[in-house]
């Protein structure tokens, strides 16, 4: 501690900027980790909180995936002796100027046995007149918060978009801002469930039944009895299980957050490593004196490790604070993305701060700092007091050191190849992945050196003096350069890796859309095609068919069902009719046979990603829970289908209607007659239903753009992390250049003393920075290609079951080149100015 005070503290005070830059490396790494995980956690806990508060006293919930189920199920549930209360529920999310409003359709004649509606005022009446509330379908109860935001009170009118177009509701009650009313950030409204069925086009279906159990009946016993009564077509679960389903849906997001966080931290490690290596180089005289005075190697090593711990703690604490701020910024976008991609409305008015996550973030920040500081600390301990005053020696990486790294890298490459080649299990793949990344890191000093040497003649040809000096600086001080280059390489590899994957996904999506999304128009009841709030009645298909210019109408009903405990998208359509228009080459199975049998209801066609993720193949029996019982259907084959990240299956609409009792539609695919204007037909549809229905008519291009935008929105979250990773790497360049200038103060002084112009000095530093950028770019591009390979495998096996082609993101790489070079150049501006403004006398006296 004394040494820390005597030696480290004065150094920190003298090199405030560098300390700050080092700190920034940790701060940003930890901030990305904390921020993205907090945002993810916030979404999950907001969803769970909503579920819990809505569930009220319900101990169990009965559902049939997202499909809903016929009303008669309620009577069956209520008839069970073990059930003390069973209340049907419909949930819907409506867009309002005050944000998304969660509308809960409940049966007020008995719902209060499960939920408490604390109404405004002392009157215990839930509503002015419960009979009027039930008798009038325009009745609504709103939360106090929503009422305040919208300027509503009892008796106020509230205009909302419904299946039947814009409708005016009457506020017949205002709930106190506690308990249930706090759900969804207070944007909650309650209406009668039977009115909700009509308003949201749900037919005679309920979304779920909340169940309270009789006294003395355990949850396990109640669930078993209900499951036995209802059969395997229903899920009987505790409310908290819905959070797990949501989590499983957003798994892809969690994995990408973990990956980007890991890289951000890894990049941070290199920044710390770089800073400490530089500090040790600069303080080797000090270390030599310390050693000469009798300090042991262990004491010196301990001092530097302690420094890294102190820095790690400070940086991690700041990182956690910055991460929480980042989470606050990210959460609204994340909520919108989850709503758009999965059709699940989640409202998180504030972030969820998890003390264990914060503690873990500090822990990994400190560990990253320790890991980054370990090698420099070890090399500080090995400083020979005699050689301590010899300058420049420690900057050189010995050939032996490099050789050892190259050998280790080769071993890692071999190990990686062996592991990946050995088996397909995660136990082989992920260690293989890590070995591959380790080999890149180990090879980076050598590669940086080779590339710097290769750059030297080019630089020298263009700028004989400055170019040669800049290149020499990199070549002669590899320890200073290599960590920065590695950090840059890693951040660029991450970016290229993601870009490659996103390019692959875009290309595959475009190809899939080209084959399958070929109708001229799409009619949707919501702006978002993934939203499940509204559904069209079956009768609308006939009305659409009767419109002039409409050749064919194909209704589509999709909803997630639970297969093997995980949600899978059921896509119900007239398979025969679709197959006449869509010609997709199957991945497994014979197309004609698949179509024939599926349209006869003798099987299902599964998506390729479902096949890959669950290991389901042609000939297997898919057990699909439905309200009418377990539907066991053979898998007729598989084809590429991007309907859902968790996988999907096509089922003929006749079979779906029979088993789910649901003939509503989420979407109509419309083919326009030849010779008719698509736009005119579109206008005709809009005109016919405007005023009576909420309706959105997309053109073919419109729907494709919508899907691509949705994909872009998904990747947008990743880009934030990439940007932070890049900022960390750029900080590394600034750090390196600052040190480089300090190290070469004398050299630069001499250059000026012998007549070198200030511009030449500036240019030397600029060139050095740009060279680091170029070297990092080349290495990052190479490493990025390796990343694409691994990412594609990860997507294929664990995330979306996507079978994507290896695509080099040339456009992205081309766009990144000037960005990185420009960033490198900008990062050199201040160090260059500081170098030319340094006193010549002081510079010549330096060292």
Q: Classify burial at 135, counting beta carbons within 10 Å of its beta carbon; exposed 0-12, middle 13-18, buried 19 or more.
A: exposed
DSSP for residue 795: I
Closest CB 60 distance from other proteins, rounded Å: 14
- Applying CB under 8 A, among 83, 226, 317, 348 the residue interacting with other proteins is 83
Closest CB 234 distance from other proteins, rounded Å: 18
Which positions ≥6 away from 123 have C-beta within 8 Å? none
If one counts every other C-beta atom within 10 angstroms of the C-beta of residue 811, the result is 10
Beta bridge partners of 93: 102
Tokens 């379908």, residue located: 137
For the chain, give percent helix, strand, coil, nearest 5: 60, 15, 20
Q: Which is nearer to other proteins, 1 or 131 (CB)?
A: 131
Closest CB 260 distance from other proteins, rounded Å: 50
Closest CB 177 distance from other proteins, rounded Å: 21
Binding mask 165-204 for other proteins (x = CB under 8 A): ---------------------------x-xx--x------
What are φ and ψ of residue 62, in 5° steps? -105, 125
User: What would you report as the CA-atom Rg of the chain, rounded to the nearest whole angstrom?
Assistant: 32
Does residue 543 interact with other proteins by CB under 8 A? no
- Applying CB under 8 A, among 112, 282, 476, 713 the residue interacting with other proteins is 112
Q: Which is nearer to other proteins, 193 or 770 (CB)?
A: 193
Does residue 215 interact with other proteins by CB under 8 A? no
Two tokens at 52? Answer: 């819990």
Query: Helix, strand or coil for residue 407?
Result: helix
Please answer whether residues 168 and 136 qualify as being in contact, where contact means their C-beta atoms are separated by less than 8 angstroms.
Answer: no
Cα gap 226→63, rounded to integer Å: 11
Which positions ≥6 away from 136 have C-beta within 8 Å? 170, 172
Cα gap 836→280, rounded to integer Å: 25
- Applying CB under 8 A, among 9, 109, 153, 218 the residue interacting with other proteins is 109
Cα gap 262→258, rounded to integer Å: 6
Closest CB 643 distance from other proteins, rounded Å: 34
Tokens 């005109």, residue located: 687
Point out which span in 104-112, 216-224, 489-497, 770-778 binds other proteins (CB under 8 A): 104-112
Point out which span in 107-115, 406-414, 634-642, 809-817 binds other proteins (CB under 8 A): 107-115
Query: Helix, strand or coil for residue 140?
Result: strand
DSSP for residue 585: -
Q: Which is nearer to other proteins, 110 or 818 (CB)?
A: 110
Closest CB 692 distance from other proteins, rounded Å: 17
Binding mask 122-151 for other proteins (x = CB under 8 A): xxxx-x-xxxx-xxxx--------------
Binding mask 49-78 for other proteins (x = CB under 8 A): -------------------------xx--x
State the number of binding residues for other proteins (CB under 8 A).
29
Does residue 156 interact with other proteins by CB under 8 A? no
Q: Which is nearer to other proteins, 125 or 590 (CB)?
A: 125
Does residue 113 interact with other proteins by CB under 8 A? yes
Q: Which is nearer to other proteins, 192 or 608 (CB)?
A: 192
- Antiparallel, parallel or unpaired: β 604-607 and 648-652: antiparallel
- Antiparallel, parallel or unpaired: β 208-213 and 521-524: unpaired
Q: Which is nearer to other proteins, 122 or 399 (CB)?
A: 122
Closest CB 509 distance from other proteins, rounded Å: 43
Does residue 110 interact with other proteins by CB under 8 A? yes
Handedness of CA 626, 627, 630, 631 (dihedral sign): negative
Two tokens at 527? Answer: 């702006």
Contact residues for other proteins, defined by CB under 8 A:
74-75, 78, 83-86, 107, 109-110, 112-113, 122-125, 127, 129-132, 134-137, 192, 194-195, 198
């Amino acid at each position: 501690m004394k040494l820390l005070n005597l030696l480290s503290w004065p150094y920190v005070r003298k090199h405030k900027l560098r300390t700050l830059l080092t700190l920034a490396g940790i701060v940003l790494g930890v901030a990305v980790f904390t921020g993205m995980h907090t945002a993810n956690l916030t979404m999950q806990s907001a969803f769970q909180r909503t579920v819990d508060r809505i569930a009220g006293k319900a101990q169990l919930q009965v559902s049939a995936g997202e499909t809903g189920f016929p009303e008669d199920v309620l009577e069956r549930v209520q008839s069970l002796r073990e059930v003390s209360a069973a209340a049907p529920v419909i949930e819907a999310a409506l867009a309002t100027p005050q944000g998304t409003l969660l509308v809960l359709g409940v049966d007020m004649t008995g719902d209060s046995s499960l939920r408490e509606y604390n109404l405004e005022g002392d009157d215990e009446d839930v509503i002015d007149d419960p009979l009027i509330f039930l008798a009038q379908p325009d009745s609504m109860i709103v939360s106090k918060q929503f009422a305040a935001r919208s300027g509503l009170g009892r008796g106020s009118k509230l205009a909302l978009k419904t299946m039947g177009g814009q409708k005016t509701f009457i506020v017949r009650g205002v709930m106190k801002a506690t308990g249930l009313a706090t759900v969804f950030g207070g944007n909650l409204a309650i209406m009668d469930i039977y009115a909700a069925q009509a308003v949201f086009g749900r037919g005679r279906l309920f979304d779920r039944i909340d169940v309270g159990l009789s006294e003395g009946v355990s949850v396990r016993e109640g669930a078993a009895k209900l499951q036995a009564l209802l059969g395997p077509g229903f899920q009987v679960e505790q409310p908290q299980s819905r959070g797990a389903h949501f989590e499983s849906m957003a798994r892809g997001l969690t994995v990408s957050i973990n990956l980007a966080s890991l890289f951000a931290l890894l990049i941070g490690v290199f920044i710390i490593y770089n800073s400490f290596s530089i500090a040790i180089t600069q303080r080797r005289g000090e270390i030599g004196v310390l050693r000469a005075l009798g300090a042991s190697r262990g004491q010196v090593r301990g001092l530097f490790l302690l420094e890294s711990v102190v820095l790690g703690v400070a940086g991690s604490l700041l990182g956690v604070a910055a991460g929480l701020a980042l989470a606050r910024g990210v959460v609204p976008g994340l909520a919108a993305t989850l709503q758009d991609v999965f059709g699940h409305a989640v409202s998180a008015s504030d972030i969820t701060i998890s003390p264990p996550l914060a503690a873990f973030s500090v822990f990994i920040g400190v560990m990253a700092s320790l890991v980054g500081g370990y090698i420099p600390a070890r090399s500080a301990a090995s400083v020979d007091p005699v050689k301590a005053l010899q300058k420049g020696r420690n900057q050189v990486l010995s050939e032996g050191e490099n050789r050892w790294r190259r050998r280790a890298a080769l071993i890692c490459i071999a190990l990686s190849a062996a592991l990946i080649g050995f088996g397909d299990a995660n136990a082989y793949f992920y260690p293989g992945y890590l070995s591959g990344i380790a080999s890149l890191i180990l090879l980076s000093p050598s590669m940086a050196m080779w590339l710097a040497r290769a750059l030297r003649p080019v630089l020298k040809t263009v700028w004989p003096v400055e170019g040669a000096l800049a290149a020499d600086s990199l070549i002669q001080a590899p320890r200073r350069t290599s960590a920065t280059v590695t950090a840059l390489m890693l951040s660029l590899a991450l970016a290229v890796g993601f870009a490659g994957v996103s390019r692959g996904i875009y290309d595959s999506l475009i190809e899939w859309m080209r084959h399958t999304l070929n109708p001229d128009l799409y009619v949707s009841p919501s702006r978002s095609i993934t939203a499940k709030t509204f559904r069209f009645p079956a009768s609308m298909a006939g009305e659409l068919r009767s419109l002039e210019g409409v050749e064919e109408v194909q209704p589509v009903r999709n909803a997630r069902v639970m297969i093997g405990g995980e949600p899978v998208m059921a896509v119900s359509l007239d398979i025969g009719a679709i197959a006449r228009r869509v010609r997709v080459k199957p991945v497994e199975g014979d197309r004609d046979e698949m179509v024939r049998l599926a349209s006869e209801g003798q099987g299902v066609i599964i998506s390729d990603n479902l096949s890959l993720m669950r290991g389901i193949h042609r000939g297997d029996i898919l057990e699909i829970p439905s309200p009418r019982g377990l539907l066991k259907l053979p898998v007729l084959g598989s084809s590429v289908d991007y309907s859902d990240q968790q996988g999907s299956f096509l089922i003929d609409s006749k079979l779906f209607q029979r088993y789910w009792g649901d003939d509503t539609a989420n979407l109509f695919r419309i083919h326009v007659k030849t010779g008719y204007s698509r736009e005119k037909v579109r206008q005709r549809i809009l005109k016919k239903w405007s005023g009576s229905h909420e309706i959105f008519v997309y053109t073919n291009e419109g729907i494709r753009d919508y899907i691509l935008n949705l994909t872009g929105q998904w990747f947008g979250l990743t880009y934030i992390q990439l940007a932070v990773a890049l900022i960390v790497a750029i900080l590394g360049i600034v750090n390196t250049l600052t040190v480089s200038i300090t190290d070469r103060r004398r050299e630069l002084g001499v250059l000026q003393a012998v007549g070198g112009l200030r511009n030449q000095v500036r240019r030397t530093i600029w060139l050095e920075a740009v060279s680091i950028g170029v070297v990092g770019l080349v290495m990052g591009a190479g490493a990025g290609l390796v990343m694409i390979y691994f990412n594609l495998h990860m997507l294929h096996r664990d995330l979306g079951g996507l079978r994507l082609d290896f695509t080099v993101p040339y456009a992205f790489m081309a766009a990144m080149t000037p960005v990185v070079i420009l960033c490198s150049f900008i990062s050199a501006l201040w160090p260059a100015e500081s170098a030319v403004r340094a006193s010549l006398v002081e510079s010549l006296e330096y060292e």
